[in-house]
Structure 1
Amino acid sequence: MNNVKEYLVKLEENQREKYPNQPEYLQAVAEFVGTVEPFLVKHPEFMEKNILEMLLIPERIIEFRIPWMDDKGAWRINTGYRVQYNSALGPYKGGMRFHPTVNQSVIKFLGFEQIFKNSLTSLPIGGGKGGSDFDPKGKSDGEIMRFCQSLMRELQKYIGPNEDVPAGDIGVGAREIGYMFGEYKRLNGYQAGVLTGKPLAYWGSLARKEATGYGLVYFVEHLLNDCNDSIKGKKVLVSGSGNVAIYAIEKAQELGASVYGCSDSSGSLIDPDGIDLDLIKDIKEVKRERINTYLEQHPNAKFYEGKNIWDIEFDYDVALPCATQNEISKELANQLVKNGVAIVAEGANMPTSLEALEVLKENKIIYCPGKAANAGGVAVSALEMAQNAQRLPWTFEKVDAELNQIMKNIYETSRQTSLEYVGEFDLVAGANIAGFARVAEAMVSQGLV
């Protein structure tokens, strides 16, 4: 036991020494390393082969410039990234994020998490991630198109249906995927499986845009079913109002929950009558406006300008953070406790800080980590790859049923693994150990690659 603990402590210290200016990556490593000790105690062969240190280092990181012309004819420059983290289980798979905060630390943390998330799906996909510090907000369609085309002229050298299959993430939806796919096709010919999240007209998958949000709620429903309960009748708040948040709201309402709040970067919205999802879709997916315009049609609602939704006093049962990393701090976790929250399930990647996790654990709040709870998006991306390979489209019902079963399997695997190795219900440890075990075994069997 002591040898394992010393090994893990040294491993984390080495990463901190090497990458002192990569806080997001170091946070992801700390959260992961802190949970796998029981597995290594039972399976010291993986420590002896130093699999974990090998896993911490990406197979490769690609960084490149992206020159593009704005509508005024001025040349602009952004930086692009793709981390191809681990291919032991299949081609690299993970989204592209367009946001000003994107840097190598953010992409590494996302790619590292993606390894285990993809492993948990039991589908043949490895871990990768990418993006750029480009901000699509306020840009015209023409500017976004020229940016995406410039990005793909470089990225296309490193991706392919059996090599690396990017998808969408924050700032990257069907529009951006379409522009990138078009440029890839011009340069390489038509290869349907090179990107996922494509529009339906050219081999996108039904239920893909809904998948992360739906999968998140399915995960919570399976958790509650395991406790002889249901999400029906539960009071829910959701952070964000993008793709994940919108479809988490939709599925929660469909299953009988009452959703009272969501947010965007300008502030938070609480509607005591329940969120009008059709209006939210119109504001965010059609008009692309700020969420405060919701009040024009629902004056009973209240908008909290500049306020994090988790900082609002409100009585509810389930928190679904679907915005961005570290949106729940220690102080906000304490507010969740005061509000009587019973479950926190992550729709975003690492939205809960390490200090907040301790608060949730101390107060017996059930915490569903993103690598398990939001794996629905990449799961349906892998199903899109399967459809592309078969040249056969699946019905919405078929994809949705597969998604529900995958989320059920992820929940049950995480639960059982935590009971086996930790001796108690701990979905963080269960998800981390289950995801790591599959990748580690593959790496050893392939000759430590």
Structure 2
Amino acid sequence: MYDDLTLEHFMDGLVKRNPYEPEFHQAVKEVAESVIPFINKNPKYKQAHILERMTEPDKVVSFRVSWEDDEGNIRINRGYRVQFNNSIGPYKGGLRFDPSVNMSVLKFLGFEQTFKNSLTTLPIGAGKGGSDFNPKGKSDREIMRFCQSFMTQLYQHIGPNMDVPAGDIGVGAREISYLFGQYKRLTHQFESVLTGKSLEFGGSLIRTEATGYGNAYFMQSMLIHSGQIIEGKTCLVSGSGNVALYCAEKIIQLGGKVLTLSDSSGTLLVPNGIEQTQLDIIKDIKTNKRQRLGVLTELFECEFYEGKKPWSIKADLAFPCATQNELDEDDASLLAEHGCLAVSEGANMPCTPEAVHTFHERGILYAPGKAANAGGVAVSALEMSQNSIRMSWSENELEQKLHNIMQQIHDQCVKYGEHDGKVNYVDGANIAGFIKVADAMLAYGVV
């Protein structure tokens, strides 16, 4: 006979084993709050200590990355790959190049990826990696040399049936191309070992758009389930990277009215709603010219609020698409006071636990990132499939597949999260994601 698992006891053990990793602790606690009551009702998971095993990565790799800058100076960075869980498929998850990268951040992202990838229903495990290298301000040649050095250390740990990384913050098509070129040079193999590749050598259509499009589709499904539609709703979007820009684009296509985008310098407000032509200008200044949003006040009618976040602006829907913990309890209270109906996360863990509690307390529909932003990794898995069968699908076919996957994720959340006619999407996503991985782990025995 086993005593019931308690959240306090479980988290005490996890923090003791993983000290000084606050992002990882936060991600695990959010899942454990949902999953532990389910585990206590299903003793097979408790007896096999599945949650304890699931919160311990399969493997963590750390390595030195030495490279030479344009002035001939030798530079040193640290590289990582956290291979979290491969119970349902090869490890799959992005590489992030950013000064904020450390073990806590990558373990949080890898743990979240376990549930996100499970929810897609596709056969992919979970991993995450990257470096504290900052590509901003670096020349193309410097980025190429860094990527080549990084892959020289990483290549022996990845492979098409072992671990298939993708891009993330600081790692776009350019970086993936340099990484893939070095992998091919080292192994003499043309393999599906990276996703997010350029179309010229095996990339997938709509991969750039997928996370943002998928987030908008999830919001659409959530609203329809509650008897509403996205058309005509005013929307706040934070961030101005690919996720935010393409989330805004799909909202516009679905008839919503996007009021804001943001970057580290402040928030852009377009009171009448951003039009597609304006969004195209914003894409250009952010992705090609790499300028701040504030310059747009000179190009079309808009306002820019220096140092401000979007959440104080009155709107129906919110899409946090920038970075983790960008929306706190005070922001959530402001959204509630202004009548916000629903929040759908485009970034990974952008809402603090206190903000999530406020959403639930105030009756705001809330979609966690592991469900709402799974579109990117879903299309990455489709890219792997296309590479394996040496063919590609059209843009329309891929978008339809993406739409179907997001609907399936929503339906799983409803199945496991609906109580008394209301859906707790956090519980639904966590339990649905847990069951598939946990059942596979049980099937393997003690490994």
TM-score range, shorter chain: over 0.9
One-letter amino acid of the structure 2 residue matched with residue 371 of structure 1:
K
Q: Secondary structure at the match of 1:66?
A: strand
For 1:53, the equivalent position in structure 2 comes to: 52
1:442 aligned partner, one-letter code: A
* Cα drift, residue 273 of structure 1: 2.6
CA–CA distance in structure 1, aligned partners of residues 176 and 122 of structure 2:
22
What is the CA–CA distance in structure 1 between the aligned matches of 2:190 and 2:381, rounded to whole Å? 15
- State the Cα distance separating 1:339 from its structure 2 match: 2.4
SS at match of 1:157: helix
| Counterpart position of 1:296 | 298
- Residue 132 of structure 1 corresponds to 131
Q: What is residue 3 of structure 1 aligned with on the other side? A: 3
For each residue in 1:170-225, what CA deviation from the matched residue of structure 2 results, as whole angstroms up to 9, or x when unmatched?
Answer: 11110111110111011112334100000000010001111000000111111112
Aligned amino acid, residue 148 of structure 1: C
1:338 CA displacement: 2.1
**Is 2:223 the partner of 1:224?**
yes
Once the 2 structures are TM-superposed, how far is the Cα of residue 117 of structure 1 from its aligned partner? 0.3
Q: Which residue of 2 aligns with 1:108?
A: 107
Is the CA contact 1:196–1:384 (under 8 Å) kept in the aligned structure 2?
A: yes
d(CA) in 1 for partners of 2:219, 2:181: 37
| Residue 438 of structure 2: aligned partner | 440
SS in 2 for 1:77: strand
Q: Secondary structure of the equivalent of 1:4?
A: coil
Deviation at 1:306, TM superposition (A): 1.7
Distance 1:207 1:448 in 2: 40
1: distance between equivalents of 2:3 and 2:417? 22
Residue aligned with 1:93, SS: strand
Whether the 8 Å CA contact 1:217–1:252 is kept in 2: the answer is yes
Q: How does 1:38-437 map to 2 (within 5 A)?
A: 38-275=37-274, 276-298=278-300, 300-310=301-311, 312=312, 314-419=313-418, 424-437=422-435
**Structure 2: 5+ residue stretches without partners:** none
Residue segments in structure 1 that go unaligned for 5+ positions in a row: none
Give the Cα–Cα distance (whole angstroms) in 1 for the partners of residues 37 and 16 of structure 2.
25
Q: Distance in 1 between matches of 2:173 and 2:255?
A: 29
Letter in 1 for 2:304: F
Aligned residues of 2:2 and 2:47 also touching (Cα < 8 A): no
Asked if 2 retains the 8 angstrom alpha-carbon contact of 1:64 and 1:154, the reply is yes
Shift of 1:388: 0.2
Separation in 2, partners of 1:2, 1:429: 24
Return the TM-score normalized by structure 2. 0.97
| Amino acid corresponding to residue 315 of structure 2 in structure 1 | Y
Superimposed CA distance per residue, residues 323-382 of structure 1 (whole angstroms, 9 cap, x where no aligned partner) = 110001111111211222111100000001111111111111111000000000000000
Q: Contact 2:314–2:335 at 8 Å: present in 1 too?
A: no
How many residues of Structure 1 are paired with residues of Structure 2 in the alignment? 444
Residues 233-277 of structure 1: CA deviation (Å, up to 9, x unaligned):
111111100010010011000111010100111111111132220
1:263 counterpart SS class = strand
- Tell me if the contact between 2:5 and 2:40 (Cα under 8 Å) persists in the aligned partners: no
Q: How has the CA–CA distance of structure 1 residues 427 and 277 changed in structure 2, closer, same or farther, with 3 Å as cutoff?
A: same
Q: Normalised by the size of structure 1, how large is the TM-score?
A: 0.96
Q: How far 1:424 moved relative to its partner?
A: 4.3
Amino acid at match of 2:305: Y
The residue type paired with residue 3 of structure 1 is D
The aligned amino acid for 1:201 is E
Between 1:213-222 and 1:331-340, the stretch displaced more is: 331-340
* Structure 1 Cα separation of the partners of residues 257 and 245 of structure 2: 14
What SS does the aligned partner of 2:161 have? coil
Q: Which amino acid aligns with 2:121?
A: S
Amino acid at match of 2:83: Q
Q: State the AA in 2 paired with 1:291.
A: L
Alignment-mate amino acid for residue 197 of structure 2: K
Q: CA deviation at 1:401?
A: 0.5
| Contact 1:87–1:125 under 8 Å retained in 2 | yes
Instruction: State the Cα distance separating 1:423 from its structure 2 match.
Output: 7.7
- The CA RMSD over aligned residues, in Å, is 1.5
Give the superposition deviation at 1:303.
Answer: 1.0
CA distance in 1, matches of 2:337, 2:191: 49
Distance 1:4 1:36 in 2: 12
Q: Is the 8 A contact 2:63 2:78 kept in 1?
A: yes
Q: Answer yes or no: is the 8 Å Cα contact 1:192–1:203 preserved in 2.
A: no
Amino acid in the other structure paired with 1:77: I
Separation in structure 1 between the aligned mates of residue 381 and residue 238 of structure 2, nearest angstrom: 26
For residues 155-181 of structure 1, give each alpha carbon's deviation from its aligned partner in whole angstroms, at most 9, with x where no partner exists: 101001110000011111101111101
Which whole-Å deviations, capped at 9, do the CAs of 1:373-406 have from their partners, x for residues lacking one? 0000000000000000000011011111000000
What is the letter of the counterpart of residue 138 of structure 1?
G
Q: Contact 2:5/2:46 (CA < 8 Å) preserved in 1?
A: no
Identical aligned residues as a percent = 54
1:54 partner amino acid: R
Q: CA deviation at 1:135?
A: 1.0
CA contact (8 A) 1:161 1:191 kept: no
State the 1:2 CA deviation.
Answer: 10
Residue type of the alignment partner of 1:130:
G
| Cα distance, 1:227–1:303 mapped onto 2, change above 3 Å | same
CA distance in 2, matches of 1:105, 1:63: 13
Instruction: Please say if residues 51 and 448 of structure 1, whose CA atoms lie closer than 8 Å, have aligned partners that are also in contact.
Output: no
Q: Compare 251-260 and 335-344 and name the one that shifted more.
A: 335-344
